[in-house]
Amino acid sequence: MEFSSSAFLMFVFRWIHFLAGITWIGLLYFFNLVNVPYTKIAEPKDRAAHVPKLMPIALAWFRHTAWVTVLAGFGLIYLWYWRNGDFISSNSAKTIFMGMLLGLVMLFNVWVFIWPNQKKVIEATLKGEKADPQWGKTALYASRTNFVLSFPMLLYMGSASHTPLDWLWIVITGVIAAAIAGALVLYVQK
């Protein structure tokens, strides 16, 4: 099989996007479905032991795979749609565009709300100080928002090339996917 330079670039961007995205979203799910419930049942001394050891490593992978995923996604969306003038004219472009917008909101949450607040929590824990509860709440709410947004985002990413959606179905399926994620978050909070 012969690759053009454009096809090769698409292959590289897709592979990077895929691997980084799995890592980013996998860690998002770990934080929301495993780490948050664990912190509710763990003894304070256990939490104080795992925060400065586990969280810096996990959050480094989390935040860096976030920007790598988005950057590779921009490469893909440019090569597949934008360079051909298809910004949102086809259903496929509309679908991937919505996935991209949700991914950008999620990236923003990682770097503006989650990481800065978690960094403060880690630093306070390392100093043996009590972290401001608002730092954890802010990071948690942004993380929960990303969890809910990840369901429609993943739906749109997969649908763009397999079952492209028009605007009506983008809204309907997005609301359904977000509602499912929201119900899961509420279940985990119990």
Which residues fall within 8 angstroms of residue 98, CB to CB, at 6 or more apart? Answer: 152, 156, 170, 174
Q: What pLDDT is attached to residue 2?
A: 64
Q: How many Å apart are CA 106 and CA 149, to the nearest integer?
A: 7
The letter for the amino acid at 20 is: A
Burial 51-90 (b: 16+ CB within 10 A, else e): beeebeeebeebbebbebbbebbbbbbebbbeeeebeeee
First to last CA, the chain: 53
pLDDT of residue 96: 97
Segments in 31-166 forming alpha helices (H)? 36-41, 44-80, 91-109, 115-126, 133-162
Number of domains in the chain: 1
Mean pLDDT in consecutive groups of 10 residues from the start of the chain, 190 residues: 82 97 98 90 83 92 98 96 96 97 98 97 91 95 96 96 96 96 86
Q: Which domain holds residue 10?
A: 5-189
Residues 6+ apart with CB under 8 A from 81: 87, 90, 92, 93, 96
- In degrees and rounded to multiples of 5, residue 182 shows phi and psi of -60, -40
Q: In the prediction, which pLDDT does 33 show? A: 94
Contacts of residue 149, defined as CB under 8 A and 6 or more positions apart, other chains included, come to 102, 105, 106, 178, 181
